[in-house]
Structure 1
Amino acid sequence: MIVRRRVVPAVLAAALLLAAGCSSDGGGPPSGAGRTTATGAAPGTAPSGRATASPPPARGSVKVLRTVARNLKTPWGLAPLPGGGLLVSSRDDGTIVRIDDRTGRTTELGTVSGVSPAGEGGLLGIALSPGFASDHMIYAYFTSASDNRIVRMLYDEHKPAGEQLGAPDTVFKGIPMGFIHDGGRIAFGPDGMLYVGTGESGERGLAQDRKSLGGKILRLTPEGEPAPGNPFPGSPVYSYGHRNVQGLAWDNHQRLFASEFGQDTWDELNAIKPGGDYGWPKAEGRSSDPAFQNPLAQWHPDDASPSGIAYVNGVIWMAALRGERLWRVPLDGTRASAPPQAFLTGRYGRLRTVVAAGGDKLWLVTSNTDGRGRPQKGDDRVLEVEVR
């Protein structure tokens, strides 16, 4: 359900400034930024699916530089702050903390009211407003008693710890919720629009129903309206046929990629085509049916159960929960240019979120206190990682 509001010109102006000059993942401006039109048209995929530049090396490397923070409880989403610092959401506590990325000191901003954690639901993804420098708004996706929804809150760092979050303002609601498959990843794209990964909440048929918000990637304005240029006029649906979308990231050509939980056979990394049908529940993994978009890479769930993804220097980096590893997928356009390569297997347990940290670095969040992991001393934690 869309919570309709008058679009605030200043917010949209900030969104267009983002499209012109900054990347939502903290990795610097996307190649070709500034070409986004005032209509907020969706980023496109090159017709051939191939990039003109040479693909990255087939093999890479990962080096853990340091542990940034420890003893976090059920961390889920991470949003880097301009000028330094990290915001991290707690799925089960419904809180957001700020981490000083130099000292590791944590400060609780406050509790997000209305969060009803259960199973895979709770306080999930967070993102900064495109105009955060001036409006100080934090967006959050969470499970309430009746649905999954998106809210925004004013962040006032000058107030006492625990009181720095304003009351949630609901911008979008009605996303199906369940004990499983609640989706939850949100991110502002290079076009300044809000992209939302949802799950089918255990009701498989919702993924193919374009009138349902479950099992979709949604594309919204910052005010929660269906974004201009969406493939189905008047609808927030950007792609469908998903089981449980967990990661969103863009390359330097504004092409969108998403990770997705499979059931028993194949997990997926997909290049997202506006209006594309990704097959669930009729197809899991690659299919011979031309009606469905095939993944660019797939894994057995024991090796993946993918969560967050990030793009750095021609490579998608994918955090794996059940697989307890970090996957490297080098790209040639929207295709994998070499077989995926695994790093950190079993070393830090379940990996939930990965976010570009600028240059050749990533922020990596573990997920061992979520009831499914095997917590070690100091879990959960945020790591700084150098990648090639």
Structure 2
Amino acid sequence: MDTLKRNAWGPAFAALLAATTAGPSLDRDALRRSVAGLPDADVTGALVRVAGSAGHWWGVSGVADAGTGAPVRSDSSFRIGGITRLFTHAVMLQLAGEQRVDLGTPVVRHLPGLLPESHRQVTVGQLLDGTSGLPALPSLTYGDGSNEWFTEHRFDSWSPERIVREALKEQREFTPEAAEPRNGIEDLLAGLVIEEITGRSFAREVRERIARPLGLRCTHVPDADDVTLPEPCSHTYVATGGGLTDVTARSPHAWAAGGMVSTAADLDRFLTALLEGRLLGPAQQELLATHGGLERTVLPDGRELLGATGSGPGFVCGVLAAPDLSRRVAYSLACIRAQGSGEIPCVQGIVEAAFRTG
């Protein structure tokens, strides 16, 4: 899959969303093959939900608990990593629609003292469209990048303010208005701006503005000291010292950048509402392509999908949809090795099977 995190779709975007038609049937055999044979050397368990005009398909494979052999459940909760940014950006765009924030306003006006003078011109809008030039997450949060480091430090917690300050200490040459990959710092700052504007917690804003109105009963922003994952869930593991270490419990310090918890059904409902325009006013819906945190995935046959992906030590997940919402997929995998290795073929197989026709 070729994932591009900068998007520009133009006026045809709204028309595509309104043009949902009954599509070809699901290739259920291909879907079953995409999650067959688990657990293996890379993935312990998988959960897949496909929905759309051709019907629904649920697939589970592997084990939810390597110790007991308990199977994966279709209603399992999981950490959604970078998919969190879709919620963060949606809340900020709602506030813009209410004229409570101007996207052209410098961030320092809302968060004085957090950004240095060299970053005084970074705007709220640049946090959303990925052109702030701010640095990536600091080594404070990932150490040497090894599974061993993460296992030892998985309960460590840092405030978003500290993470931002540490990142700025490691700042490479600043390139304002340069489009760069999403780095987490922008979304942490967006969460802080949301709290400053509303006077309420980011978790409450997500709950009151998105989760409760859409009936997302299994979606929430964990408290800073909540290391648990609600049951039912699939355990996540990383390979350390020749064995597997259970890292299901961990700090949710990624917060507005990647700390949320949800389910496949909730993510599908949320992405559908977002793309249908049920969360944003018309002017903000026009900004969704550039400021909504959406990713564009291109299938081998050239078709484009919209949505977001997330990952962390021991897991990868995603929620993707055809622009007209006629076919959608949400998935979560518990993967053993370092991210970006053995789970990639499995993810590719799931996504390609989900959008294949039978």
State the TM-score, normalizing by the size of structure 2.
Answer: 0.28
Of the two, which has the highest radius of gyration?
2
Which has the higher relative contact order, 1 or 2, with Cα contacts under 8 A spaced 6 or more apart? 2
Structure having the larger proportion of residues in strand: 1
State the TM-score, normalizing by the size of structure 1.
Answer: 0.27
